[in-house]
Chain A
Amino acid sequence: EAGVAQSPRYKIIEKRQSVAFWCNPISGHATLYWYQQILGQGPKLLIQFQNNGVVDDSQLPKDRFSAERLKGVDSTLKIQPAKLEDSAVYLCASSPPGLAAQGSYNEQFFGPGTRLTVL
């Protein structure tokens, strides 16, 4: 089974520029997540999609970040304009549909991430 695909793997931009990241989840996975992982920290959830609907975007800086999953499969995350503090690894993850059991949630499968450096 193919894993979560992300591109590009690395990106270097200057502050105030725009950047976009792409994610292709595992086939059949209804839930897709975008995380920001700053060096030395744990992943921080930016946005969660269930099919093509947003479940949680409470920690997404909406003045500069946007994300979409138009057909409920691939997703893109955009930053416009970028700031120095946006330098991080952006991880995409997906999980299969449905609850594994009462009180349980399915595991998340992470992609390799995109390492963004803002100069």
Chain B
Amino acid sequence: GQQVMQIPQYQHVQEGEDFTTYCNSSTTLSNIQWYKQRPGGHPVFLIQLVKSGEVKKQKRLTFQFGEAKKNSSLHITATQTTDVGTYFCAGRRSNTGKLIFGQGTTLQVKP
């Protein structure tokens, strides 16, 4: 069945370093959403990408949707300790509309 794969599973960075997580789907997606889950918390919506090749920015966060609408990435510039958490991509299947979550990338930031 459809899978949405995320890499890496874990990332430890020094505060101030950059961070990137990648999301790949086996099939074309109609859109992709990104969520952040703090330790012990629940997923919180960050952004949605719809168009092929779309790039959106939120302060230090840059989100990209691939040209083929099968992959996406989240890049954080100059990480801060407040960026700690697990970042999930969630891709929506084009034909069924079902939202499939990736397994997440857990980010640790050392001060």
A16 at the interface (CB under 8 A from B): no
Q: Which residues of A contact B100 (CB under 8 A)?
A: 45
A64 CB to nearest B CB, Å: 21
Stretch at the interface among A22-30, A71-79, A99-107: A99-107
Q: Which residue of B lies closest to A92 (CB)?
A: B42
Q: How far apart are the CA atoms of A107 and B51 in the complex, in Å?
A: 16
A interface: dominant SS: loop
What is the bound-complex CA distance between A41 and B90, given in angstroms?
13
CB proximity to B under 8 Å, residues A4-27: none
Contact residues in B for A113 (Cβ distance below 8 Å): 42
Does A101 lie within 8 Å of B101, measured CB to CB?
A: no
Cβ–Cβ contact B42 & A45, under 8 A: no
Chain B residues contacting A91 (CB-CB under 8 Å) are 42-43
Number of interface residues of B (CB under 8 A): 24
A107 to B35, CA, bound (A): 10
Given A110-B44, A111-B42; A42-B92 close (CB under 8 Å): no
Contact between chains at B31 and A105 (CB < 8 Å): yes
The secondary structure that dominates the B interface is strand
Which of chain A's residues have a CB closer than 8 A to the CB of B103? 40-42
**B-chain residues with CB within 8 Å of residue A111 when the two chains form the complex:** 42
Q: Is A96 an interface residue (CB 8 A)?
A: no
Between A40, A43, A107, the greatest number of chain B beta carbons within 10 A of the residue's beta carbon is seen for: A43
- 21 pairs, CB–CB < 8 Å, chain A vs chain B: A42-B6, A42-B102, A42-B104, A43-B43, A44-B101, A45-B99, A56-B98, A91-B43, A101-B50, A103-B30, A104-B50, A105-B97, A107-B33, A107-B45, A107-B48, A108-B33, A108-B43, A108-B99, A109-B45, A110-B44, A113-B42
Q: Which of A40, A104, A108 contacts B31 (CB 8 A)?
A: A104
Complex Cα distance, B33 from A108, in Å, reads 10
- A56, A107, A109, A113, most chain B CB atoms within 10 A: A107
Contact with B along A37-50 (1 / 0, CB 8 A): 00011111100000
